[in-house]
Structure 1
């Protein structure tokens, strides 16, 4: 009986150990699977971060370049990225811009890639440049504009009185450029238009307000004749002549 009991006891121990291993084995496998999944997730996150970084670099290079950027130029900046990877990232950017109807697009041109404005918005770009383009003004236009800026409101006759020539064409040109505007009529015979400067005038010359204009005294040609003071002329003898005169006087004194 004692032997049987001992055998049973040993069998029970073996059975318990087997059951224990059967229970722990799946748990161990589950833990290993979890660890592998976490590691894989970390690698994916790291890979996504690297991809976002590469995408940002390529996007920046295309944005700052005025000419098409080649694959070799992009690879030279990134060093560790292949041409195929660069193409894949550019494709992602193109799809991203297209999906969100971006104002920018990337096209392949002249052996490289270039970031350009989206043709869909070309109308708005034309309108923007139509109002913002800074055209260089002619000398007559600048003269007339200066007279109006300092003397406003003025009539065309006032401008012509100072300039001495007909100013119809110049004034019409400045009106078309929205640098001038009509601000009323003068209460005289014929009631001619009065002109003044506009907000575009301030923007064109980079002024905060008309108070920032230079002093009128710096431009005597814009002042009426009675306000222009003639500069006194100082009649000074040349230095050499003065020295000769002093020398003659010294000799006279010595002879006396």
Structure 2
């Protein structure tokens, strides 16, 4: 049987996979012989070009590559599922935003910024969704757990790494442009792209002051954003074999 072009094989693998595929995993599945990393990247580039005018796109996220429906088609695709999209409270989204921009962070530190207690249910929900994880314990009395985001969090919001988080100034501009009528309509809804703070602005029915203070606090945190968690870093050059012609 004639072997199909590499990009067609990769397309089949990505369509059949239930999770993103890394370049290393693709090479494992194509070990007769395995193509070089450069060859894989070129094939993926051709596949991305093929999808340019289609309803699906090739997207690189933290865990690897995946084929996914484009955002503009989501209103129709969402009708395939009877249940309503998950809604999240303002408190949960604020907590997730603080973890994302100031990780690693303890529950007490989150409460200091928000000025209110963080319920155990919020932390449990974030842990169950595998958006956050415990990465250690602060060496203070009680040794509170320190939370950070996960690779699943990056995948869900179409991010390759923590460095792809949007600048707080950009989020502030988006929140400033939201019309007042959006408050009731967007209460707590998640967005298809990374927009953890924007829904908070939409749900702020008390006033802009509290949300503005949160943005200022996050803005100060952004400069110290930790991006070197071992399980979120791409493979080092030493771990990859040199590219070779196949």
TM-score band w.r.t. shorter chain: 0.3 to 0.5
Bigger-Rg structure (1/2): 1
Between Structure 1 and Structure 2, which shows a larger proportion of helix residues? 1
TM-score (norm 2): 0.35
TM-score using structure 1 length:
0.34
Point out which structure has higher relative CO (alpha carbons under 8 A, 6+ apart).
2
